[in-house]
Chains A and B, each alone.
Chain A
Amino acid sequence: MARVGVFVCFCGANIADFVDVPAVVEEAKKIKEVKYAIDYKYMCSDPGQGMIRDAIVAHRLTSIVVAACSPRMHEKTFRKALSDAGMNPYLLEVANIREHSSWVHQKDKKAATEKSSDLIRMAVAKSMANEQLHEISVPVTKRALVIGGGIAGIQAALDIADARIPVVLVEKSPSIGGKMAQLDETFPTLDCSQCILTPKMVDVASHPYIELLPYSEVLELDGYVGNYKVKIKRKASYVNFDTCTGCGACWQKCPVKVPNEFNMGIDKRKAIYSPFPQAVPNKPVIDAEHCTMLIKGKCGICAKVCEKGSIDYTMQDEIIEREIGAVVVATGYDLWDPKPYEEYGVGRYKDIITSLEFERMVSASGPTGGVPVRPSDGKIPKSVVFIKCVGSRDEAKGIEYCSKICCMYTAKHAMLLHHKVHDSHAYIFYMDIRAAGKGYEEFVKRAQVETAATYLRGRVSKIYKKGDKLMVRGEDAQIGQVVEVEADLVVLATAVYPYKDNSDLARLLGISYDKYGFLSEAHPKLRPVETAKAGIFLAGCTQAPKDIPETVAQASATAAKVCGLFAGDTMLKDPMVSTVNTDYCTGCQNCVTVCPYQAIITEEIPLGHGSKEIRTVAKINEGVCQGCGSCVAICRSMAIDLAGFTDMQIINEIVSI
C-alpha cells in the first residue's frame, strides 16, 4: 500500500507570496495515496530536511514528493535526505512549484495555487510508479591509452603517468615529437622548439609508467568506459629495438636514398633511418617500401655492418592487446594540400613552398643548415612573399574555417627570415591579423617594426614567372591599388587540416567527427575535451586548429579527466538507464540504430525455456547507456523502458490531472 508524503516549501516568500501554500497542502491531503502533507519555510534547510527524515520514519512513508524549486536545483539534496532516513533516494519526486508556478504567474494567485496543486498531483502520480534504483558500479581498468606522440600526446601521457597511472602511448611514426619537432622557433617568445620539446620526449621514454609503442597503430577498440580493450599493430621495424644501440652505422652505409619526410622532402634519408637526430626512441626502422633487401632480396648491407646483429629482415607485423580504461586521442594535424590554387602555380614552380618547408629550412638542424634557399637554384632569397589564408577561409577552393595559427607563425617567419638573411625583405599578404593570445599582438607588432615587413591587405590572385622571379599579384585594399611583388621565394601559409585517416580512426573508436575530419567534442563550450563517448578524450589539433600553449593546456585537461575517472576502483553511474524486457523484444534492432552511444548490442537467447533454437534480442550495456530514452520511444513492442522515466511514470503524470 502506497504511503506518500508531500512536503510543500514556502521558499521564504518566493512561493508563499504567489501561491496559497496551506491550501495546496489541504488539496494534497485529499489525494488518496497521500498519508502525510506539511509545509515549511525552507524545505532545503537542515530543519526542513530533518522534517522529511522524521516523517519517513514516523509515518512509514513509501515515497516522497517535495513541492519546491526546480529539481535541477535541489533534487540531489532531497535524495540525500531520503538516503539518510534509510529510504531509497530514487523514491523522491520533486514538483517544481517555484520556477514553473509562483515565479511565472505572479499576477494570478488563484491560478498559481491551482497549478501548484496539479503539479503535486502529477508528482504523486509519478511517484506511484517509482522503483528503488541503485547507482551502477562499473569496475575500472586504471590504464590509459594515448594515441599520437606529438606535443599533445606527450603532455597528456606525462601528466597521467605522473599521477602514477600507467599509460600506453601509441605513435605511428618511428619517433615521437610530431609537428613540434619540425619547428624551428616558437611564437611569441622565439623559444627553440627542440630545446623545450626534447626533454619531454626523453621523459616519456624513461618514465616508469609509460609504455611507449612507436611505429604502431590502433586497430580496434572494444568495450566501454573504464573497460576498453584495444588492439594495436606494431609495424615491423626489421630492427630489434632491445639490442640496437642506435649507433647509426646502418643508416650511414645504406645505399638507398628516399625523400626525407621529416624535412618535407627537401633532402634525402636512407631506407633504414631514424627520422631526426633527437628521435625518441633513437632506433632506426627499415622502410619496407624502399629497402632493396626487402623488395628484391639483394643488399643486406645494414645487417653486415650492425655489430649487435639487430637487423632482422624476417620480422613481421605484430598485434598486441592492452586493457585500458580511458583513451586520449591526440593525432594532431596535417597541412592542407594547396593544389587547388592553380592560379598560384602550385606544383609548377619550385620556388613556391609551404610554411612547414620554410620552417625546416630555417631550422638550425634543417637540411639547408638554417638558411632559406630557393629550391630551384639554391640561391638565398632576398625578396620573400608570405601568403596567409591559403586554403583557410576559402569555401571555394579550401575550407571555411580560420586555421588560427598562421597569422602568428607568419609573423614569426618574417622575423626568422630577417634573422637569417639580413638583407632580405618580407612581404606579407593577409586578410586580417588575428593575434588573440597572451603576448601575441605584441609579437606581431615586434615583427612589423623590427623586420619592417610589408603587410599588404588582400588575397593574392595570381603568381606567374618572369625570368627567374615569381611575380605575385594582389590588391592592397588599404590603398585600393593592385600591387605586384617581384619575389625570389613564395611561402604559402596553408591551412591546418586533419590527417586524412582521422575520420577512419574516429569510426574505429566510435566517436563523431565533423565534415573535415576533426574529432567532435561533447560540448563546444562546457565539455571541450570530452567526446560524446564516455572515457574518450581529445587533445590538440585533432579536435580543431590550435597553437602549442592551447594544445598543452588541453592535453593537461584530458589528463585531469582521466585521473578523475580513475579516482576510485569503480565508477558510480546514474541508474537512469534503459533495460530490455527480452520477453517482449522482437529483435527488430531499431533501438540499435537510434542509440547515439552504441550502447545497444544484440544477443542470442533460447527461443523458449530450454529450447535449442535461438532468437536475437537487444541487450543494453548499462555502463555505456546515458539514459536518453531514444530506444524506448522507438521500440515497437514496448520491450524497453528507461528507469526513472518509465512509460508508466509518465502516463501516470498525464492522466493525473
Chain B
Amino acid sequence: MTKLTYFPGCSAHGTSEEFDSTLKLVMKSLDVEMEELPDWNCCGATSAHVMTENLALALPLRNLVLAEKLSNKTMGIACASCYSRMKSTKVEMDNHPELAKRINSTIIEEGEYQGSVDVKSMLQFFYEDFGTEAIAEKVTYPLQGLKIACYYGCLLTRPKAITQFDSPEYPMSMDNIVESLGATATPFDFKTECCGASFSISDTEIVLSLSGTILEMAKESGAHLIAVACPLCQSNLDMRQPDIEKKNGTKYDMPVMYITQLMALAFGYPVQDLKPSKHIVPIEQALSHIGEEIETPEVKKKPKKAVQAESEVE
C-alpha cells in the first residue's frame, strides 16, 4: 500500500467537492492511503503573489513544513493552483538558501524547512507513480465510445522549469490516462490555454471570452466532454458555461468532468458516486455515449519488422 500526504486545498471542501470525493474513491481502488495534511492553510493563490512577495512564499511554506512532519515522501495536491504555488515555493526554497532563511523566519514555530517532501499534482501522481498500464488494470467498466477533450490548463505543466512534468505546450499524460480507461482522447489544441483563472470573480468578462474559446475548440475536436484536473478550470468552464453560451449565442452542452470522476466510473463505481448533481451542465447525456462503436475502424497494423514500417513491397 502506498501512502500519500493529501493536500485538498480550499476548493475541495467547497466548489470541487466531487473532485475530492471521487479522488478518494480512485485512491481506494489504487490501494493508496491518503493522509490529509493536518491543519493545512490556504496556499494564497493567486492573491498572495499578486500583492506581496513574502506571503506568496510563506503561505505555501507553512504547508510544506507541516508535511515534513509526516512520514510520507510525497504530498499529492488536488488543486492545480495550490500545486503550482507549492511547487514554485519548493523550487525557490531549494535553490535560494538566503531567501529560504528569510521566508522561514515567518513561521518559526512550525519549524525549519528541510526540503524532504516531494510535491506532485494528482495527475502527475497517477501518471508517474502508477502509469497507464496499472490504471488500465483496474478498469472494470471501459469508457469505450466516449470522446474526451483533455484540458490541462496553465499550471499543471507550466512553467516547465518548475513543474518538470510533461510538455508545457501539448501534454499527453491525461490523454494517455483517458485512453487507458477505454475512452478516446480527441486532438485538442487548446489543452493548455488559460481559462481566465482567478478573474472568475473580479473580471468575469475575461473568463467568458477565454473559456468560450476553449469550449468551442473542444466541441470542434469532436469531444463529448472535457476532462480536467483543476477545480478553477472546472468551475470556469462548467459554472460559467450558460453565461458563455448566452454571450456567444451558441449551445455547447459540454460537460466538464474531473479526471478522477472518469477514473472512478471506469473503476466500477456507480454514476451516482460521481455526484452528477453538482454539475451545472448535466453529464448524463455525454456518458450515454459509452459503449458506442468507435467510428473510425482504423486497425493499427503492428509492423513485424522495422524494415517494413518504413518501406513497402509491391
Touching chains A and B, CB distance < 8 Å: yes
Interface residues of A (CB under 8 A from B): 255-259, 271, 289-290, 292, 295, 342-343, 345, 348, 462, 464-467
**B151 CB to nearest chain A CB (Å):** 14
**A294 CB to nearest chain B CB (Å):** 11
Which residues of chain A are near B217, meaning CB under 8 Å? 464, 466
**B218 CB to nearest chain A CB (Å):** 12
Describe A's contact surface by its main secondary structure: mixed
10 A-B interface contacts by CB (under 8 A): A256-B311, A257-B311, A258-B311, A290-B307, A290-B311, A343-B169, A345-B189, A348-B170, A465-B187, A466-B217
**B313: Cβ under 8 A from any A Cβ:** yes
CA gap between A259 and B312 in the complex, in Å: 10
Choice from B187, B220, B313 contacting A348 with Cβ under 8 Å:
B187
Which residues of chain B are near A464, meaning CB under 8 Å? 189-190, 217
Which residues of chain B are near A342, meaning CB under 8 Å? 167-170
**B284: Cβ under 8 A from any A Cβ:** no
For the complex, count residues of B whose C-beta is within 8 A of A.
Answer: 15
**B314: Cβ under 8 A from any A Cβ:** yes
B152-168 interface with A by 8 A CB criterion = 167-168
Q: Which residue of A lies closest to B221 (CB)?
A: A465
Q: Which residue of A lies closest to B169 (CB)?
A: A342
**A490 CB to nearest chain B CB (Å):** 14
**B311 CB to nearest chain A CB (Å):** 5
**B310: Cβ under 8 A from any A Cβ:** yes
* A256 with B313: CB separation less than 8 A: yes
CA gap between A464 and B170 in the complex, in Å: 11
Given contacts A342-B169, A343-B169, A348-B170, contact A255 B187 (CB under 8 A): no
Which residues of chain A are near B314, meaning CB under 8 Å? 255-257
Which residues of chain B are near A258, meaning CB under 8 Å? 310-311
Q: Which residue of A lies closest to B312 (CB)?
A: A257
Which residues of chain A are near B220, meaning CB under 8 Å? 466-467
Write out, one digit per residue, whether chain B residues 164-178 have a CB within 8 A of any chain A CB (1) or not (0).
000111100000000
Which residues of chain A are near B190, meaning CB under 8 Å? 464
**B47 CB to nearest chain A CB (Å):** 28
Q: Which residue of B lies closest to A343 (CB)?
A: B169
Q: Which residue of A lies closest to B314 (CB)?
A: A255
CA gap between A255 and B312 in the complex, in Å: 8
**B186 CB to nearest chain A CB (Å):** 11
Write out, one digit per residue, whether chain B residues 40-65 have a CB within 8 A of any chain A CB (1) or not (0).
00000000000000000000000000
CA gap between A466 and B222 in the complex, in Å: 12
B189-215 interface with A by 8 A CB criterion = 189-190
CA gap between A462 and B307 in the complex, in Å: 35
Write out, one digit per residue, whether chain B residues 125-161 have a CB within 8 A of any chain A CB (1) or not (0).
0000000000000000000000000000000000000
Which residues of chain B are near A295, meaning CB under 8 Å? 307
CA gap between A165 and B217 in the complex, in Å: 66
Choice from A289, A292, A465 contacting B189 with Cβ under 8 Å:
A465
Which residues of chain A are near B167, meaning CB under 8 Å? 342
**A612 CB to nearest chain B CB (Å):** 56
**B148 CB to nearest chain A CB (Å):** 18
**B173 CB to nearest chain A CB (Å):** 14
**A253 CB to nearest chain B CB (Å):** 10
Which residues of chain A are near B169, meaning CB under 8 Å? 342-343
CA gap between A392 and B167 in the complex, in Å: 21
* B313 with A292: CB separation less than 8 A: yes
Q: Which residue of B lies closest to A342 (CB)?
A: B169
Which residues of chain A are near B168, meaning CB under 8 Å? 342
CA gap between A462 and B194 in the complex, in Å: 14
Which residues of chain A are near B189, meaning CB under 8 Å? 345, 462, 464-465
* B187 with A271: CB separation less than 8 A: no
Given contacts A348-B187, A465-B187, A466-B220, contact A259 B310 (CB under 8 A): yes
**B168 CB to nearest chain A CB (Å):** 8
Given contacts A348-B187, A465-B187, A466-B220, contact A271 B311 (CB under 8 A): yes
CA gap between A466 and B307 in the complex, in Å: 35
**A266 CB to nearest chain B CB (Å):** 15
Most buried by A among B169, B189, B220, B312: B189
* B307 with A289: CB separation less than 8 A: yes
Q: Which residue of A lies closest to B190 (CB)?
A: A464
Which residues of chain B are near A292, meaning CB under 8 Å? 313
CA gap between A295 and B311 in the complex, in Å: 13
Which residues of chain A are near B312, meaning CB under 8 Å? 256-257
4 other A-B residue contacts (CB within 8 Å) besides A257-B312, A259-B311, A290-B310:
A257-B311, A290-B311, A464-B217, A467-B220
Which residues of chain B are near A343, meaning CB under 8 Å? 169-170
Which residues of chain A are near B313, meaning CB under 8 Å? 255-257, 292
B260-314 interface with A by 8 A CB criterion = 307, 310-314
**B161 CB to nearest chain A CB (Å):** 11
Which residues of chain A are near B187, meaning CB under 8 Å? 348, 465
Which residues of chain B are near A466, meaning CB under 8 Å? 217, 220
CA gap between A258 and B169 in the complex, in Å: 33
CA gap between A256 and B187 in the complex, in Å: 34
CA gap between A466 and B220 in the complex, in Å: 7
**B172 CB to nearest chain A CB (Å):** 11
CA gap between A289 and B167 in the complex, in Å: 34
**B112 CB to nearest chain A CB (Å):** 36
Which residues of chain B are near A348, meaning CB under 8 Å? 170, 187
**B79 CB to nearest chain A CB (Å):** 26
CA gap between A290 and B187 in the complex, in Å: 33
CA gap between A343 and B169 in the complex, in Å: 6
Q: Which residue of A lies closest to B305 (CB)?
A: A295
Most buried by A among B167, B168, B311: B311
CA gap between A255 and B314 in the complex, in Å: 5
CA gap between A466 and B168 in the complex, in Å: 21
**B153 CB to nearest chain A CB (Å):** 16
CA gap between A578 and B169 in the complex, in Å: 58
**A255 CB to nearest chain B CB (Å):** 5
Which 3 A/B pairs are nearest by Cβ-Cβ distance? A464-B189, A342-B169, A258-B311
**A340 CB to nearest chain B CB (Å):** 9
CA gap between A467 and B311 in the complex, in Å: 31
Q: Which residue of A lies closest to B171 (CB)?
A: A342
Q: Which residue of A lies closest to B170 (CB)?
A: A342
**A459 CB to nearest chain B CB (Å):** 15
Q: Which residue of B lies closest to A269 (CB)?
A: B311
